[in-house]
Structure 1
């Protein structure tokens, strides 16, 4: 059974990481594993050994335990027969009507995903108990904040692992990240690998899906960061209050009761709620004065950010090559976390300054044409607004935005993103993102609604020889052609934002996963234009 989906990403985009080079083979007695589920109804033999756990029937081998998860899109109970055929000797189920063949142990629980979490921690020897854990949640900023914390910890000589949207990585090991927060079995396997490689600190992006579904299970965090909350994932959560309550679980249920600290954006309305409601020790950061971490003065341009910041330990200079004032929030959050681990302020400064870029996050594409071309992961209304406001602050040329919206995801945000792009761009090129099973043109029409509401004029792409003197939009469903049009129309001093996919190196159309990287496409078009104008 494939794992259920997670946020903006696809369950089929990449297979789950198998850390066979990092985690030694383990064998546990079944009785020892059953101790993790004292309330379970067990039928069949309780002796014997278990060589591995699996929630995907395709990964079951001899003497394995298969956990049937009732997922968001799939029900693992449908795959029990396949797991037994492949050699499973124990099955974990929620339903009483599941037959139990001779020689097979049936373990019935109320919640199989919760059971998988506890079994996984037991199977891998509870690795998180030997690690300092940082959890980061919020609609935007998780990945950049994780990269910043990683950079500071490494500068301080601390062995650090990261689990997030771009990759799962530690030491010399990097695994592709099919979802922001792994399923509990994959998570415990990765943490066990980190312990074996002498990692001491882990920085982990924690998605609302993972929190709502109980994927992080038995973990507890030394520090938990709240970046912000704005509209996203309403295809899953349905309403903002449910979305907020899912995020809040990180602080209410998974922050260590003894010694745990919440690091919260006090400028965000939902962050203010957390500050009022939480009883745990708290650190407040933001751009407004009055918190624990805030800037006294700031400067921002395309070369990066500068500030004098107030911290509980004093006032310090902060420099960063990252683009966009919104990144001050991420920098302040990272400083607060590093302070919590007693990292020397000088090393915090150096670590923050040394992070030149985050893959697909306001990532500039160098060129010799005098254009500012930025690739950004902004696939949410607030993130798109932040990115465009940052570009409007730098330079006086026109702004061209290329973006689409993902299929099978929150439909309510599509016209909102159209409005934002229409009002903050000189030209919006609406295109495809990852349409998945939806009709790409239907998604585009939904985005168009927002532009039309703002009175933004439509111009056919074939009618454009130059950027119009007024705000306009066009439609180019093929993303490659859309990027090419935007770069072709831009002139020296203009700014091109290619938004929505960021670091992704694929495009999902129907059930096909096609190679596609916005950064590579932009480089190709820029190089072709450079050669043409030599």
Structure 2
């Protein structure tokens, strides 16, 4: 991007040139846009952003020393620190950073069909399903999510579900380079609140559900909900797409009160036949479920390959996507029947034949409850008396109020509970376990093993043929974070190791 193109984005006379500054050539090129002084290289533009734990304005001088050619800031009291380069004073430097990243990388999302998914649980599964169905019908689809970023066989690792604006918009450039026509994107509340995706031109927004999580960041459930709602009142409203839609879980109490912008058409999905998109479970088995699905004026029967109502919700939330793209619904249903499943989402360890062992990412009270309840209901339907053994922990440096709640849920719905570590991060793992203990009515019959590998080993040792073993919390993750170090660890592989 040329400096002149950058300047033209702002109103006339917005770029201020201090007396000691050198005016960059209008044809000079900007090397990159950054929000951290550590990322600055020669000819960068530095955006001073106020974060939760650090204020970028304090690093303006460092950014200039490292080669920043221009500074964008919102706190005028720091203008005195900008003496040798031009600057722009804006109302919201975080928002401008995101918008300028879109411009810098070429606004490639404008030429793609984009679906954004938000909610506490189900985002990853929903992106996997969209990717699978679209790809199988010839629509190359890029995914930005918890597990990774990918399109076709090209994969980029990620450390955040919703990455920073520079990564988001550069990834869309990558998607187009690799032939992507559509995208399925997980959108977290942090990502919305920190304006990481406000310039993405979404066609469809999906709301999966809302349950307790991230209260360490948002404070209250209402704050958490109001941020999630912005996908439908702000992000979709700002999209340049002519038609925009919201697909909302009508069975979720927050979904029922979710508001959308006047330019966004809303459709509910759920179990209620009054909704335009609904489902009913006819039969349940460990290998599949038989469903009846209603899609507006159409009816379908299908053999659904995943366990749990939550997976059905995830699937039916996507039906409008395919219909909008003129993919026949009968073809969608048929293709979904052969879906192999989602890594770490109630993923059956198929190498173990005599026990029902599942690995799942459930790490919130609601997700833990739904996961265990799924296998409890199935056990009841099959008239089985096999035990449910649940292995779980809670992540460190995250919402601590949910820990005793998760303990209470695991105790109430499982026959055997093994409490262990998740990703303790910088917290004391035993202290986290002690907080989980507070939710138990009886601690004497629980098993406490801080070493996650040994906890999984214990579960495999005490389980008998036909028992159900749930290893919860980490799902697809192939690492464990202890302190500030990330070490290799894979729940699925650990189960197989101890199954021998």
TM above 0.5 = yes
CA contact (8 A) 1:152 1:347 kept: no
Match for 1:366 among 343, 350, 359?
A: 350
Report how far residue 276 of structure 1 moved. Answer: 8.6
Q: Summarize the alignment of residues 118-129 of structure 1 with structure 2, pairs less than 5 Å apart.
A: 118-129=99-110
Aligned twin of 2:82: 100
Match for 2:132 among 121, 132, 151?
A: 151
Distance 2:273 2:344 in 1: 31
Instruction: Check 1:73–1:516 CA distance in 2 against 1; reply closer, same or farther (3 A cut).
Output: farther
Aligned twin of 1:501: 474
Aligned twin of 1:75: 55
Q: Summarize the alignment of residues 101-500 of structure 1 with structure 2, pairs less than 5 Å apart.
A: 101-102=83-84, 104-255=85-236, 256=239, 258-274=242-258, 280-368=264-352, 370-395=354-379, 396=384, 397-451=386-440, 455-458=441-444, 472-500=445-473
RMSD, aligned CA: 1.9
Report how far residue 353 of structure 1 moved. Answer: 2.3
Distance 2:29 2:251 in 1: 53
1:29-65 Cα offsets, whole Å, 9 max, x none, are 1121133343855334253320222223333322222
Match for 2:6 among 14, 33, 36?
A: 33
1:219-253 Cα offsets, whole Å, 9 max, x none, are 23111100001111000010000000000000001
Secondary structure of the residue that 2:340 maps to in structure 1?
Answer: coil
Gaps of 5+ in 2: none
Distance 1:449 1:201 in 2: 46
Distance 1:100 1:205 in 2: 37
Distance 1:83 1:275 in 2: 41
Distance 1:352 1:369 in 2: 24
Aligned twin of 1:58: 38
CA contact (8 A) 1:400 1:426 kept: yes
CA contact (8 A) 2:232 2:259 kept: no
| Structure 1 outlier segments of 4+, above 4 Å | 275-279
CA contact (8 A) 2:233 2:261 kept: no
Report how far residue 481 of structure 1 moved. Answer: 1.1
For these two proteins, the number of residue pairs brought into alignment is 483
CA contact (8 A) 1:155 1:347 kept: no
Report how far residue 66 of structure 1 moved. Answer: 2.2
Instruction: Check 1:353–1:59 CA distance in 2 against 1; reply closer, same or farther (3 A cut).
Output: farther
Secondary structure of the residue that 1:178 maps to in structure 2?
Answer: coil
Instruction: Check 1:369–1:235 CA distance in 2 against 1; reply closer, same or farther (3 A cut).
Output: same
TM-score where L is the length of structure 2: 0.92
Distance 2:485 2:292 in 1: 49
Report how far residue 393 of structure 1 moved. Answer: 2.6
1:141-198 Cα offsets, whole Å, 9 max, x none, are 1111111111111121111111111111113321112111111111110011112223
CA contact (8 A) 1:305 1:325 kept: no
Secondary structure of the residue that 2:425 maps to in structure 1?
Answer: coil
Deviates more, 1:493-502 or 1:328-337: 328-337
Distance 2:443 2:67 in 1: 62
Deviates more, 1:278-287 or 1:513-522: 278-287
Distance 2:180 2:489 in 1: 33
Deviates more, 1:288-297 or 1:358-367: 288-297
Secondary structure of the residue that 2:354 maps to in structure 1?
Answer: coil
Secondary structure of the residue that 1:326 maps to in structure 2?
Answer: helix
Report how far residue 513 of structure 1 moved. Answer: 1.4
CA contact (8 A) 1:152 1:350 kept: no
1:312-352 Cα offsets, whole Å, 9 max, x none, are 14111233322222211011112222222221113311332
Distance 1:29 1:197 in 2: 25
Report how far residue 288 of structure 1 moved. Answer: 2.1
Deviates more, 1:73-82 or 1:338-347: 73-82
Distance 1:335 1:403 in 2: 33
Distance 1:46 1:165 in 2: 40
Aligned twin of 1:24: none
TM-score where L is the length of structure 1: 0.86
Report how far residue 445 of structure 1 moved. Answer: 1.0
